[in-house]
């Protein structure tokens, strides 16, 4: 099936044709599985990426108008899911590859953060809270050790939205700590 045919299926599904909608998503699932398997070896990850992408597409495809192509947009959703997985894996690998320096047996003294830095951090968090409470809540949950899945459930967010919000919140916090105010 070509991209123009997929776009026709999309148009029929948007018009309310349930059979065409089911046909569209069955076709997309097959194509996406093939596409993702070429890039990711773990079958569980492949299935998770495809399911996440199909869920996003299902939620959004009726709301959006496509200047170019529904098929192009759908594949971009899958590519973003793959990239998100690869970034997560890279972070996990970076954390697990920290060198063992043989100092683990030495007694570690508790950190006493600089009181001025602690005060600046609290001031910045309050400024961010006044600007956008969601940013502050996500930062707090993240630094308390909640997992992405737990935070997404609490905040009713998709993982991709969580990462975007967390990135913006961290940027604001860094900027505030550096400059003393938020943008």
| Rounded distance between C-alpha atoms, residue 173 and residue 27, angstroms | 44
State pLDDT tens for residues 16-50. 889 989 998 999 999 999 989 988 888 999 999 99
In what helix (H) or strand (E) does residue 135 lie, and over which residues does it extend?
helix 133-143
**pLDDT band (50, 70, 90) for residue 121:** confident
State pLDDT tens for residues 150-163. 899 988 999 888 88
Positive or negative CA dihedral for 68, 69, 74, 75?
Answer: negative
> What pLDDT does 62 receive?
79
Question: Is the pLDDT at 183 greater than 80, yes or no?
Answer: no
Q: Within its chain, how far is the Cα of 61 from the centroid?
A: 19
Go through the domains of the chain in sequence order and give each one's CATH number. 3-95 (1.10.1740.10), 115-179 (1.10.10)
> What pLDDT does 22 receive?
92
Burial annotation 90-101 (CB, 10 A radius, 16+ → b, else e): eeeeeeeeeeee
């Amino acid at each position: 099936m070509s991209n123009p045919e997929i776009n026709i299926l999309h148009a029929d599904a948007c018009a309310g044709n349930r059979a065409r909608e089911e046909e569209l998503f069955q076709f997309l699932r097959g194509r996406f599985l093939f596409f993702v398997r070429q890039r990711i070896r773990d079958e569980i990850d492949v299935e998770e990426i495809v399911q996440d992408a199909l869920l996003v597409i299902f939620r959004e495809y009726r709301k959006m108008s496509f200047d170019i192509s529904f098929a192009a947009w759908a594949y971009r959703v899958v590519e973003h899911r793959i990239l998100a997985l690869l970034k997560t894996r890279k972070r996990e690998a970076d954390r697990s590859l920290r060198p063992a320096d043989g100092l683990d047996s030495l007694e570690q003294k508790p950190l006493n953060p600089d009181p001025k830095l602690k005060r600046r951090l609290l001031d910045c968090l309050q400024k961010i809270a006044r600007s956008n409470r969601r940013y502050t809540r996500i930062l707090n949950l993240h630094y308390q050790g909640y997992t992405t899945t737990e935070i997404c459930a609490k905040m009713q967010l998709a993982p991709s939205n969580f990462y975007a919000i967390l990135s913006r919140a961290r940027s604001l916090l860094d900027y505030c700590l550096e400059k003393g105010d938020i943008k």
